């Protein structure tokens, strides 16, 4: 469930997020509720309110939205309900409202514990606000995740160590760690094109990734997906559902659902989304029917992201005989880049930093 509003647009962000449309919040929430009411009742195992910055909405609007979700959809008894939040707009009242309506997991966009990096990233919070938000989140819901960004210009291993200490200090059970990328259409991409910014060296990038991986491991947070680490049992069940290709519903501007091979992408522009929903229309910008070939490619790409790899039987079921990829996979197993065990194929620690290259090499 997508809330596209942010306090400011971060210069590296290519998500469907916009700043400066506060006057639209109320209408958007009404449209979103309308779309939620059109969803099947469920029961749903997980709910994810993402953005954007959902906590930019007022406590009243958050309450209105969450109670409408609660009224309309059924949740399984062991449901997971995550809400993304940013330290710049996280306060006790918003967190309480969300928890009272059933949210039991917060995912916080911390990104760095260093104010100069936060400033570079265009974040509206500082390190002190991040600490306060984490304390607050930990006191209100049982599960909290924090996002970090590595690969920043000039970022040092010592700085990353200080970032990792956050997980110990707040006893967090989940980390999402992303590498800074320069996505087309972003301000950073334009600045890189003008030569004002540059990618860090590939070797340094790998060194940082392995360092973060081992640092989190020493805190009991193990890699279960390329960018995600958790204590046992604290994996994001919602994101695992995407990576294991389960069906998912969606609501909101730009949100994507996939049900029985039918992938629907909603209108990205929040104003157009509101108008379409108000007019009783479906607000869909794109409809795709996934082909066998597309499903197979997703199975490879998503499976290799997971620590427990891809199921060979599943690939066979999707029509990809092992005779096609066996010679290549065996060479990678021999080089210590892939492992094969109990009918699954996955990347070793050596192979993880070259995941993209390996995936392309094995794809049909």
Which residues are near ligand SF4 by CB under 6 A? 6, 9-10, 13, 15, 17, 51-53, 86, 109
Q: Which is nearer to ligand SF4, 109 or 353 (CB)?
A: 109
**Do 347 and 355 touch, CB atoms closer than 8 A?**
yes
Pick the closer one to ligand SF4 by CB: 4 or 351.
4
The distance of closest approach from Cβ of residue 89 to ligand SF4 in the complex, given in angstroms and rounded to an integer, is 9
d(CA 128, CA 138): 16
Which residues are within 8 A (CB) of 41 and not within 5 positions of it... i.e. 6 or more apart?
72, 73, 74
Nearer to ligand SF4, 270 or 351 (CB): 270
CB of 15 to ligand SF4, least distance (A): 5
Shortest reach from residue 5's CB to ligand SF4, in Å: 8
- Please, what is the end-to-end C-alpha distance for the chain in angstroms? 33
Q: Supply 110's token pair.
A: 């911390």
- By beta-carbon proximity to ligand SF4, the closer residue of 124 and 290 is 124
Exposed, middle or buried: residue 162 (CB in 10 Å: 0-12, 13-18, 19+)?
Answer: middle
Nearest-approach distance from CB 13 to ligand SF4, in angstroms: 3
Q: Which is nearer to ligand SF4, 54 or 309 (CB)?
A: 54
Give the single-character DSSP code of 23: G
Shortest Å distance, C-beta 213 to ligand SF4: 23
Cα–Cα distance measured from residue 220 to residue 227, given in angstroms and rounded to the nearest whole number: 16
Between 181 and 308, name the residue whose CB sits nearer to ligand SF4: 181
3 state DSSP class of 250: coil
In the complex, minimum distance from the CB of residue 151 to ligand SF4, in angstroms, rounded to a whole number: 15
State how far the Cα of 10 lies from the Cα of 193, in Å rounded to an integer.
18
Q: Which two tokens stand for residue 162?
A: 């200080």
């Amino acid at each position: 469930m997508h809330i596209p509003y942010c306090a400011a647009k971060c210069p590296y962000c290519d998500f469907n997020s916009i700043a400066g449309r506060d006057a639209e919040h109320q209408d958007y929430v009404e449209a979103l509720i309308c779309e939620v009411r059109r969803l099947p009742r469920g029961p749903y195992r997980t709910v994810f309110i993402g953005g954007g910055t959902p906590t930019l909405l007022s406590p009243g609007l958050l309450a209105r939205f969450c109670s409408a979700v609660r009224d309309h959809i059924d949740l399984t008894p062991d449901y997971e309900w995550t809400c993304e939040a940013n330290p710049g707009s996280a306060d006790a009242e918003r967190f309480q409202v969300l928890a009272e309506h059933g949210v039991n997991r917060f995912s916080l966009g911390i990104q760095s514990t260093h104010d100069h990096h936060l400033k570079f990233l265009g974040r509206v919070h500082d390190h002190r606000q991040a600490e306060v938000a984490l304390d607050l989140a930990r006191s209100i819901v049982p599960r909290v995740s924090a996002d970090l960004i590595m690969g920043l210009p000039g970022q040092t291993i010592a700085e990353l160590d200080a970032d990792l200490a956050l997980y110990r200090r707040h006893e967090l059970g989940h980390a999402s760690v992303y590498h800074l990328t320069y996505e087309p259409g972003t301000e950073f991409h334009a600045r890189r094109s003008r030569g004002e910014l540059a990618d860090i060296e590939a070797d340094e990038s790998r060194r940082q990734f392995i360092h973060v991986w081992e640092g989190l491991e020493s805190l009991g947070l193990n890699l279960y997906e390329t960018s995600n680490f958790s204590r046992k049992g604290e994996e994001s069940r919602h994101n695992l559902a995407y990576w294991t290709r389960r069906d998912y519903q969606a609501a909101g501007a730009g949100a994507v659902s996939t049900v029985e091979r039918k992938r629907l992408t909603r209108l990205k522009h929040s104003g157009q989304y509101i108008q379409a929903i108000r007019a009783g229309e479906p607000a869909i910008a794109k409809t795709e029917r996934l082909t066998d070939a597309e499903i197979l490619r997703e199975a490879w790409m998503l499976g290799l992201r997971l620590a427990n790899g891809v199921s060979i039987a599943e690939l066979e079921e999707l029509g990809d005989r092992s005779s096609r990829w066996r010679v290549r996979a065996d060479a990678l197993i021999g080089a210590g880049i892939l492992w094969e065990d109990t009918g699954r194929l996955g990347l070793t620690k050596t192979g993880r930093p070259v995941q993209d290259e390996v995936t392309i090499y094995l794809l049909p």
